[in-house]
Amino acid sequence: MIERLPRVKKVTYTAMVIALAVSLRIIKYSLFGSVQFVNFPAVFTIIGGALLGPSSGLAAGLTTYILSDIMIGLPGPWTIVNSVLMGGVGFLSGLIWGRNSVKQVGKLGLAVGSYIMLLAFDITNSWALLVIMGFDWFSALIVGIVGLFLPAAGGYLYGVGPITELTTVLLIVTIVSMLKKNGFFLKT
């Protein structure tokens, strides 16, 4: 099903993507606490951008972190940093995969592109938060990169960045593959 979406449908699909991301993040937090193993806002932001276009990806990225952090009860400066950066990821995914139908994108291209965007998101996010906390720019970058692999600046998990990005990318590729298989594609 490739069709041009009316505005109401596009807004509705965007709202559904946001609701899925927020709901699943809240459920994950309720069951496992702050342990990171999948980034649901990223999953649905990238899929929303790829299927619905840059504006929907931007809206999903901006909104999911703000709503879920408020609902979890953990809003702070990281909420703004995460939401702005994830909005950029959603916009970029819409530009990359939304231009031509995501139907033409292979699994490997989607996986590699998503992984690179998520790695850049994690590094930039850590760097920005450390700068806000008072680190100098260069030290914040080093600690942000090292913190993806080793416990740094208050972290306690090893390899949390690459593992979270890998599971997130696997979920993105799985969902997009299922949508392809069932013929669900939208032209924005």
Greater model confidence, 23 or 180: 23
**Mean pLDDT across the chain:** 85
User: Which pLDDT tens digit goes with each residue over 155-171?
Assistant: 566 667 788 889 999 99
What are the tokens at 81?
């940093």
Query: What is the rounded CA–CA span in Å between residue 126 and residue 33?
Result: 20
Alpha-carbon distance values, 61 to 56, 95, 109, 130, 158 (Å): 8, 14, 21, 21, 26
Percent of the chain with pLDDT over 70: 86
Q: Which of the listed CATH numbers 1.10.1760.20, 1.10.760.10, 3.40.50.2000, 1.10.3720.10 matches domain 7-181?
A: 1.10.1760.20
Q: How confident is the model at residue 22 (pLDDT cuts 50, 70, 90)?
A: very high
For 187, list phi and psi in degrees, rounded to 5.
-110, 120
**Domain coordinates of the chain in residue numbers?**
7-181
User: Which pLDDT tens digit goes with each residue over 1-17?
Assistant: 345 677 888 899 999 99
What are the tokens at 74?
């953990």
Contacting residues for 100 by C-beta, under 8 A, at least 6 apart: none
pLDDT at 173 over 70: yes
What is the longest distance spanned by two Cα atoms in the chain? 51
DSSP-based three-state secondary structure for 4: strand
Query: What is the rounded CA–CA span in Å between residue 10 and residue 158?
Result: 40
Q: How confident is the model at residue 56 (pLDDT cuts 50, 70, 90)?
A: very high
